[in-house]
Structure 1
């Protein structure tokens, strides 16, 4: 539902609190006047952008996590978890809300509601002087309450006794547009083409075919833990359109797929994709094609890049929970050649560390590097700006036009 629809379902108490937040001049006893005044104020671009600009980083992360979720309704428990997950830049003691801070007494809530209603009535008579806004409380419930007062979250019943919260659909788009303008102002664009660039469009899809063909034509032995021997890995990499170095000994590698610990990043993704499709099987210390794999190999055709993209998003969703939003921002910021280190600096605050993988590594290797392999973007060398990146036409089409299942893939075994 849109904001106007949600306002019409809200009770007068919530409308009064929203009107007070925006210092609306209206009759606090008239629901219709409250709604019209709120809409006229919230729809002003300067007011909306000022509210976004005043948010703390963890609040921005929280809102972004809601914008790119396939669902449109969340329980209170889910929202509390989202707020806590958005505070990864804070010390653990501050990221967890104390129980005392979350337990708001009914009496205190009633006093706040009464005060909000009275304040709205006073606004109808004369516009109040700008007051110094108190420092907002830091508990997850206070964050959710604050978003409700902004008119960004509305709750309603879904079932007999369960509250669900929603973000108005039209505000979602305004949030995305406002954030895009904000992030774009922080990066540096190149006015001309780089002197050279790397483009891997369609290569990964072709290497799916090469992997299946290699397994079909060779007896690929596996170690006791189900890993190809080095000789087979090297031969397979030689047949690919993109060469990769083998992982270093003792290198920390887990979380990004079933075989990330054993194979280079790109090969690992290709192997996991074919394994998930059921085309290859690890059988009695041999890697073989299944019946479905033999049929797929006989086609001798490249795998569609959108299918590889969808698989990657779902596979990496575990270690990078907000991968969809990060890909969205890279897509928008990379509409033309942009200086790579400015994108890194701009988006790193929105990347959560994953064990020993720091945000910079995740953004550079797991996201931008893989998007290059998937053919979604190009990486170039510019005489003035150094490394630059830009989305490919194929990449923009795939990112803009595909909706994926929100569940993360878990490859066992």
Structure 2
């Protein structure tokens, strides 16, 4: 539902609080006047811009977590968890300051910073601004929704604000485009496993000799993880396989192209044999993209919104350094992955491998990226209703 629909269902108490937040001058006893006055204020460009400008970073992160999902409603517990997840990256000021020396003349304790609002207070604040509404009847009355038209306005307002901070460039002299390569390499993997006896070690990964032979067949060159070196990544055999191959391998397992047998062999299943005999399906690139979202959204909690921001902001060549300035504040660290490595290694690099992004080196602005046409199409289709929780992938 849109804002006008939700306002019409809201009780006069909530309407009065929203009207107060926007300093509406109207008859507070008339529901119709309250609704018309609220809509008039919220629809003003300057009022909406000021509301966004006054938001704290933590509140922007919370809002960002709601903007790109296909789901329509949220429980209170879910919203509380999202508010809590939005509080990261800020170093404690007192840890950076030198301890105050205690003297006889100065016995007063240093003033403590004010406590941040609780998650429930943030949710109430969003309700009072007309950005969140409770359901109106039945079990749905315990769920919260954000008006669809406000979602669109939030996205567009933030896109303009972010774009103003970016450095757009002309086309670099050379760039890399990996469109179609991951589909070809799926076939290479299946062909190798079908025609060779691929034995697995006790942890289920391939022996190094087989893995190296497979990597040599891939359209994108990746090195084996160094022997004995510590490695951190995501996926079933991340400690043994490089990132792109690890994703490709996990996808083939998830769609039952290949399977790891109890007797220590890697085999091609019937679905994999059918894939070998046919050209890649038209939607295979999109299926691998959706699987990547499903696999990576655990460690990168707001992965979907980050993908959509790259999609919205990189329609033209843009410097990675300026993208970093805009997006890193919205990225939460994950164990040994800091925000910068998540942006570059887990997001941009993987989007290049998936054929969603081109990457190049600009003589003046360094590393630059730009969305591909197929990347735009895939993300647009996903935004029109695909839910990563229901992909049929295991």
Same fold (TM over 0.5): yes
Pairing 1:79–2:79 present:
yes
Identify the match of residue 148 of structure 2 among 157, 169, 174.
Answer: 169
Identify the match of residue 249 of structure 2 among 260, 265, 271.
Answer: 271
Counterpart residue number, 1:108: none
Identify the match of residue 342 of structure 1 among 322, 329, 342.
Answer: 322
Query: CA deviation digits over 1:234-290, x for unaligned, max 9?
Result: 110111111101123332324x21122210000000100000111111121111111
Pairing 1:287–2:266 present:
yes
SS in 1 for 2:138: coil
Counterpart residue number, 1:63: 63
Instruction: Quote the offset at 1:66 in angstroms.
Output: 1.3
What aligned pairs does 1:288-307 form with structure 2 within 5 A after superposition?
Answer: 288-299=267-278, 301=280, 304-307=284-287
Q: Distance in 2 between matches of 1:193 and 1:66?
A: 34
Instruction: Quote the offset at 1:408 in angstroms.
Output: 8.9
**Is 1:65–1:322's contact at 8 Å kept on the other side of the alignment?**
yes
Counterpart residue number, 1:407: 389
Pairing 1:321–2:301 present:
yes
Query: CA deviation digits over 1:82-110, x for unaligned, max 9?
Result: 11111122479xxxxxxxxxxxxxxxxxx
**Is 2:222–2:242's contact at 8 Å kept on the other side of the alignment?**
yes
Change beyond 3 A, Cα 1:411–1:53: same
Change beyond 3 A, Cα 1:301–1:146: closer
Identify the match of residue 368 of structure 2 among 388, 394, 405.
Answer: 388
Q: Distance in 2 between matches of 1:291 and 1:35?
A: 60
Q: Distance in 1 between matches of 2:219 and 2:292?
A: 19
Counterpart residue number, 1:203: 181
What aligned pairs does 1:10-159 form with structure 2 within 5 A after superposition?
Answer: 10-90=10-90, 138-157=117-136, 159=138
Change beyond 3 A, Cα 1:199–1:329: same
Identify the match of residue 397 of structure 1 among 374, 377, 383.
Answer: 377
Q: Distance in 2 between matches of 1:69 and 1:54?
A: 24
Query: CA deviation digits over 1:165-224, x for unaligned, max 9?
Result: 11011000000001101111111111x211110110100111000000010111111111
Identify the match of residue 221 of structure 2 among 243, 268, 277.
Answer: 243
In structure 2, runs of 5+ residues without a counterpart are 93-113
Q: Distance in 1 between matches of 2:240 and 2:361?
A: 31
Structure 1 range deviating more: 399-408 or 354-363:
399-408
Counterpart residue number, 1:188: 167
Q: Distance in 2 between matches of 1:318 and 1:391?
A: 24
Q: Distance in 2 between matches of 1:161 and 1:170?
A: 20
TM-score of the two chains, using structure 1 as the length reference:
0.85
Counterpart residue number, 2:107: none
Q: Distance in 2 between matches of 1:200 and 1:252?
A: 25
Query: CA deviation digits over 1:56-90, x for unaligned, max 9?
Result: 11101111111122211111111111111111224
Counterpart residue number, 2:238: 260
**Is 1:70–1:406's contact at 8 Å kept on the other side of the alignment?**
no
TM-score of the two chains, using structure 2 as the length reference:
0.89
**Is 1:314–1:406's contact at 8 Å kept on the other side of the alignment?**
yes
Q: Distance in 1 between matches of 2:57 and 2:220?
A: 38
